[in-house]
Amino acid sequence: MTPERPPVVDLSGGAGAVAAEIDRACREVGFFYVVGHGVDPALQASLDRTAREFFALPEEEKAAVAMARGGRAWRGWFPVGGELTSGVPDAKEGLYFGAEEPPSDVPLHGPNLWPDRPAALREVVTAWMEAMTGLGHELCRGLGAALGVGERWFDEHLTASPTVLFRIFHYPPAPEAWGVGEHTDYGLLTLLLQDEHGGLQVRTPGGDWIDAPPIEGSFVCNIGDMLDRMTGGRWRSTAHRVRNVSGADRLSFPFFFDPAWDAAVQPVPLPDPAPDDDAGRRWDGSSVHAWEGTYGDYLLSKVSKVFPDLGREVL
Cα distance between residue 210 and residue 5, in whole Å: 6
Report the alpha-carbon distance of residue 259 to residue 295 in Å, rounded: 6
Q: Residue 3: inside a domain, yes or no?
A: no
Domain that residue 280 falls in = 8-314
**CATH value at residue 108:** 2.60.120.330
* Torsion angle defined by CA atoms of residues 34, 284, 177 and 48, in that order, rounded to the nearest 10 degrees: 30
2: in domain:
no
- The answer on pLDDT for 160 being more than 90 is yes
Q: Does some domain include residue 92?
A: yes
User: Does 1 map to a domain?
Assistant: no
Q: Among 104, 134, 147, which Cα is nearest to 219's?
A: 134
Whole-number Å distance between alpha carbons of 252 and 29: 21
Q: 223-249: per-residue pLDDT in tens?
A: 999 999 899 888 989 999 999 999 999
- pTM comes to 0.94
The residue ranking higher by pLDDT, 190 or 207, is 190
Number of folded domains that form the chain: 1
Domain-embedded: residue 83: yes
pLDDT digits (tens, 9 = 90+) for 27-52: 999 999 999 999 999 999 999 999 99
Q: Which residues of 15-31 are buried (b: 16+ CB within 10 A; e: fewer)?
A: eeebbbbbbebbebbbb
H/E stretch holding 94 reads strand 93-98
Would residue 222 count as lying in a domain? Answer: yes
